[in-house]
Amino acid sequence: MNELLLYLFGGGSAGLLVWSFMGSDDKAKSQSVDDSKNTVKDADVVDAGSGLKKTLDKCPNLSASVEKAMKLHEIEENHPWKKMLVSFDLLLLRSGHRGGLTAQDLANLIVYSAFLTSIGLGLYAVSLEITALPFVYIGFLFGGVMPWLIFKSKVQTRQKKIRKDLPYLLDLLTLCVESGMDFTTAMFRVGPNFQDTELGGEISLLVTELRMGKGREDGLRDLSRRVGLIELSTVVNSIIQSDKLGSGMGPALRIQSEDMRKHRMLQAEEAGMKAPVKLVFPLVFFIFPTTFLVLLAPMFIKMMS
């Protein structure tokens, strides 16, 4: 039974791989078909269309089936698969990935990783002559979650770096804006100070979008969506609100910078309060036994002798 499950998983993974390659061939064939359609004469199109219409009129059930089949490729916005692809796209965007890998590719990678990991652990269990079914399940779950965890870790690392540089960016922006510079010019002047950083790349992209004609509000909201930080979202909302109300942007940036520094101080105090709790485990299981061994071992040896 276990060997049969392994064969099924192996056949399924091989089928998925073949399907992925066949998908590219289907795309090429569809492209060639579309190109050939452009060379068909108008009279032929009219004749073919009228013939198809007559056939569908004679078979109403066939007409409904054809219409249903033509809409299978369209996915609704609230469809679970569509939501999953959107979440994968946002995960790739916030991890700093720029092109090359799409949300569909990430979904395929998760499926392939799940199948191949389950097959590998299953074969390892069979070689040890033990029950392979638990290993197959564990490998399937572990292999499916691992790619998502890797990109999620990249997102957290990137957000941590941006959170560290954000107060300094706000200080420089405040100085530039209060000196009379425009927001776009201030961002352009501040950007070189954050070269080779994650925040510097986002600033460069924002300035490029603004210079290409994109609205300031749209550019800032896209920046907030790409990064996914609550602190940056608060700053973006404050800038947009001050811009709409016509108030000075400098005081708003200064207030946000001070609030962010206070928030970082509170986070540092919270981390300091959690330190004693985190030290309980190494103290009880590693430090205390070693200390008792060093102190009591000579006494115990002397008593035994």
* Per-residue model confidence as pLDDT tens for the chain (305 residues): 545 455 455 555 555 544 444 444 444 444 444 444 444 343 433 343 444 445 445 555 544 544 444 444 445 556 677 778 888 888 888 888 776 788 888 888 898 898 888 888 888 888 888 888 888 888 889 888 999 999 999 999 999 999 888 888 888 888 888 888 888 888 888 888 888 888 888 888 888 888 888 888 898 999 999 888 888 888 899 888 888 887 778 888 888 888 888 888 888 888 888 888 888 888 888 888 888 888 888 888 888 87
Closest CA to 235 of 195, 199, 201: 199
Could you give the CA distance from residue 237 to residue 220 in angstroms, rounded to a whole number? 9
Closest CA to 205 of 225, 186, 219: 219
Query: Structural domain boundaries of the chain?
Result: 2-19+46-152, 158-265
User: How large is the greatest C-alpha to C-alpha distance in the chain, in angstroms?
Assistant: 112
User: Where do runs of H (alpha helix) occur along 76-215?
Assistant: 80-94, 103-127, 133-178, 183-190, 198-211
Instruction: Evaluate whether 146 touches 113 at the Cβ level (below 8 Å).
Output: yes
Cα 75 versus chain centre, distance: 21
Count the alpha carbons within 13 Å of 184 in the hemisphere toward its beta carbon. 14
Does the pTM of the predicted model rise above 0.75? no
The angle subtended at Cα 156 by Cα 139 and Cα 198, nearest 5°, is: 130
For the record, the structure tokens of 146 come out as: 């691992």
Closest CA to 90 of 203, 228, 201: 228
